[in-house]
Amino acid sequence: MNKQTHDKGDMTVRQAGQKGGETRKDELGHEGYSELGKKGGQRVHDLVNEGKQAEHGRKK
């Protein structure tokens, strides 16, 4: 895996993302973080369905 670091620190992009996710989880708590994940999953589901509908519309 590519270990890119920023010029101003020794943290990789992956480490920064993990740190941000942990901070967000601490802010929201378990229930809030769980709800956030459900919303994200629902959005992905909706986007997949929109893509399928658009694909079927072009085939007609």
β-bridge mates for residue 5, sequence order: 12
pLDDT of 16 higher than 90: yes
Question: Tell me, what's the pLDDT at 56?
Answer: 85
Answer yes or no: is 20 within a domain. yes
In contact, 11 and 19? CB cutoff 8 Å: yes
Amino acid sitting at position 10: D
**Distances in Å between the alpha carbon of 3 and those of 10, 17, 43?**
10, 13, 30
pLDDT of 2 higher than 60: no
Number of domains composing the chain: 1
24-60 pLDDT, tens per residue? 999 999 999 899 999 999 999 999 999 999 988 876 4
pTM: 0.56
Answer yes or no: is 7 within a domain. no
